[in-house]
C-alpha cells in the first residue's frame, strides 16, 4: 500500500463552540503521519480558553505548521500548495458566511477559498443551532460550490461512553471524507483494537489498522516486490478470515476479475509512476516533483481502497467456517505471483492476531460490540 507520508491537511479552527474538534483533528493527523497546517481565528483562541485546557502553545505543538490568521501571504493561501484538502473544525457561521461570499478577510477563509477553487475537499464542521433561513441558504450555496457540510452530530448507535469518544467519533467521520481511516487505527484502551464504524469493520479499516502495526509495512513491501503478490488481496483475505467469511462460493470469480483488472489498470501504473518520481528529473524542480509524487501516492492509496471496498462488497456474509489464516493466505498467494514467503505470511498473520485454525466463529454478523482484530 502507498504510504501517508507525502500528505498534508490544512486545518482551520474558528470561533464556534467545539474547539476540541480541531484539537483532536491535529492529534489524528499526527497519529496518521499527515502533516497538519493550522490556522486559528481570533475568536477560536477565546473558545479554546473557555472550553479546553489546551493553551495556544500546546495547540501549536500539536500541529506540523501554524500560521498567523492575518498572514494572507502564507503558503496555504496559494493553490500551488499541495494538500489533501482543508477542514474547518468547528466552523462558525461567520467563517462559513465569509467563505460563501468569496470576500475573504483572513488566512483562514482565504485558504478555504483556495481549496474550493482548486477543487479539493473542503469539509466544514458547522456548529450552530437553531439555523435561520439565511444560514441554511448560505450552506446550500457552499454545498453547491463543492464544500462538504459536516456538522459534528453524535452517533448514538456507536454508544459513546464519554464526551471524548463522542468527539473522536465525529472527528473520525470527518477524516473519512479525505480517505483517512483514523477511527480504524486509533487503539481503544491501548489494546490495538480498531474502532467499529457503523457496527462493522470494513476490509479497508482492517487493512489500514494492520498496515500501521510495527513491521507490517516492510513485510508487505517484500511480499509485493519480491514475491509479486497483490498486498490488498492478501489483506482482504486476512480480513475475511478474521470475519469468519468463506472465500469460495458467491463472488469468488468476480473478486478474481476485479483484482486482476483493477490492479493492472490502476494500482500498478500508479505505483510505477510514484516510484519513477523518486529520481530527479532536471530541470523539473525537486519541490514540484515531490508534490506530484505525493498526489500520485494519494491516488495509489485511493485505488487500493477502491479494490478493498470492491472485494469487501463481493464477500459473502460470515459463515462460521473453520479457517486457518496461514493456509488461506498460502493458497491465495499461490494463485497470483510467486509462492509468497512463509516468513512474510506468518508475520502478517501474527500482526493480524488471526494465527491458527479458529475453533469457532469469533463473532456473528449481529455482534457489533466484539473487537474486530488484534
Ligand atoms: C463561548 C463561545 C461560543 C460560541 N459558539 C458559537 C457557535 O457555536 N457557532 C457560531 O457560529 N458562533 C459561535 N460563537 C460566536 C463566534 O465566536 C463569533 O461569531 C466570532 O465572530 C466568529 O469568528 P470566526 O469565524 O472568525 O472565528 C461563540 C462565541 C463564544 C465566545
Give the pLDDT band (50/70/90) at residue 266. Answer: very high
Among 102-116, 144-158, 182-196, 280-294, the range scoring the smallest mean pLDDT is 182-196
CA distance linking residue 75 with residue 37, whole number of Å: 10
| Res. 98: pLDDT tops 90 | yes
Domain ranges across the chain = 8-180, 204-352
Say if residue 283 is preceded by a cis peptide, omega within 30 of 0.
yes
Q: What is the DSSP letter of 119?
A: T
pLDDT digits (tens, 9 = 90+) for 135-155: 999 999 999 999 999 999 998
Find the helix or strand (DSSP H, E) in which 40 lies: strand 35-40
pLDDT digits (tens, 9 = 90+) for 190-219: 333 344 444 467 888 788 878 867 678 888
pLDDT digits (tens, 9 = 90+) for 236-255: 888 887 776 655 556 778 88
Distance 17 CA to ligand 1 centre (A): 6
| Whether the CB of 368 sits within 6 Å of ligand 1 | no
Distance 31 CA to ligand 1 centre (A): 28
Cross-strand pairs, 324: 357
For residue 59, what pLDDT is reported? 94
pLDDT digits (tens, 9 = 90+) for 51-95: 999 999 999 999 999 999 999 999 999 999 999 999 999 999 999
pLDDT digits (tens, 9 = 90+) for 24-33: 999 999 988 8
| Whether the CB of 139 sits within 6 Å of ligand 1 | no
Atom of ligand 1 nearest to the CA of 43: 27
Give the pLDDT band (50/70/90) at residue 285. Answer: confident
| Whether the CB of 112 sits within 6 Å of ligand 1 | no
Atom of ligand 1 nearest to the CA of 69: 26
Cell of 292: 506530484
| Whether the CB of 82 sits within 6 Å of ligand 1 | no
On the 0-12 / 13-18 / 19+ scale of CB atoms within 10 A, 185 is buried
| Whether the CB of 69 sits within 6 Å of ligand 1 | no
| Whether the CB of 331 sits within 6 Å of ligand 1 | no
On the 0-12 / 13-18 / 19+ scale of CB atoms within 10 A, 361 is middle
Q: How many CB atoms are located within 10 Å of the residue 119 CB?
A: 10
**Superfamily name with CATH number, domain 8-180:** Flavin prenyltransferase-like (3.40.50.1950)
| Whether the CB of 305 sits within 6 Å of ligand 1 | no
| Whether the CB of 287 sits within 6 Å of ligand 1 | no
Residue of 50, 94, 127 best suited for mutating to test ligand 1, as the one with most atoms within 8 Å of CB? 94
Q: Give the mean model confidence (pLDDT) for residues 294-318.
A: 86
Distance 65 CA to ligand 1 centre (A): 24
Query: What does the mean pLDDT of the chain come to?
Result: 83
Amino acid at each position: 500500500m502507498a504510504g501517508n507520508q507525502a500528505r498534508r491537511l490544512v486545518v482551520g479552527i474558528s470561533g464556534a463552540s467545539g474547539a476540541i474538534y480541531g484539537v483532536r483533528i491535529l492529534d489524528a493527523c499526527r497519529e496518521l503521519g499527515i502533516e497538519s497546517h493550522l490556522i486559528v481565528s481570533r475568536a477560536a483562541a477565546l473558545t479554546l480558553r473557555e472550553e479546553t485546557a489546551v493553551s495556544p502553545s500546546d495547540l501549536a505543538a500539536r500541529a506540523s505548521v501554524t500560521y498567523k490568521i492575518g498572514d494572507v501571504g502564507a503558503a496555504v493561501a496559494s493553490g500551488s500548495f499541495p494538500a489533501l484538502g482543508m477542514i474547518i473544525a468547528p466552523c462558525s457561521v461567520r467563517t462559513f458566511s465569509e467563505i460563501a461570499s468569496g470576500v475573504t478577510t483572513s488566512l483562514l477563509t482565504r485558504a478555504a477559498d483556495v481549496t474550493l477553487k482548486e477543487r479539493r475537499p473542503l469539509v466544514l464542521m458547522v456548529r450552530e443551532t437553531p439555523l435561520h433561513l439565511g444560514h441554511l441558504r448560505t450552506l446550500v450555496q457552499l454545498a453547491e460550490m463543492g464544500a462538504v457540510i459536516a456538522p459534528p452530530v453524535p452517533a448514538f448507535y456507536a454508544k459513546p461512553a464519554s464526551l471524548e469518544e463522542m468527539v473522536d467519533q465525529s472527528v473520525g467521520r470527518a477524516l473519512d471524507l479525505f480517505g483517512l481511516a483514523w477511527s480504524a487505527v486509533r487503539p481503544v484502551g491501548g489494546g490495538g483494537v480498531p474502532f467499529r464504524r457503523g457496527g462493522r469493520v470494513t476490509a479497508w479499516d482492517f487493512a489500514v489498522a494492520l498496515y500501521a502495526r510495527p513491521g507490517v509495512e516492510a513485510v508487505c513491501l517484500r511480499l509485493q516486490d519480491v514475491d509479486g503478490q497483490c498486498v490488498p488481496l492478501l489483506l482482504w483475505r486476512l480480513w475475511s478470515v478474521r470475519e469468519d467469511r468463506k472465500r469460495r462460493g458467491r463472488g469468488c470469480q468476480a473478486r478474481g476479475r476485479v483484482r486482476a483488472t483493477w490492479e493492472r489498470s490502476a494500482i500498478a501504473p500508479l505505483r510505477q509512476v510514484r516510484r519513477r518520481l523518486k529520481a530527479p528529473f532536471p530541470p523539473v524542480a525537486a519541490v514540484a516533483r515531490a508534490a506530484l509524487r505525493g498526489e500520485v501516492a494519494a491516488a495509489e492509496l485511493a485505488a487500493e481502497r477502491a479494490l478493498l471496498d470492491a472485494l469487501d462488497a463481493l464477500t459473502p456474509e460470515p459463515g462460521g467456517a473453520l479457517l486457518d489464516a496461514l493456509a488461506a493466505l498460502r493458497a491465495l498467494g499461490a494463485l497470483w505471483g510467486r509462492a509468497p514467503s512463509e516468513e512474510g505470511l506468518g508475520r502478517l498473520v501474527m500482526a493480524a492476531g488471526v494465527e491458527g485454525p479458529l475453533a469457532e466463529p469469533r463473532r456473528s454478523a449481529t455482534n457489533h460490540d466484539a473487537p474486530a482484530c488484534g
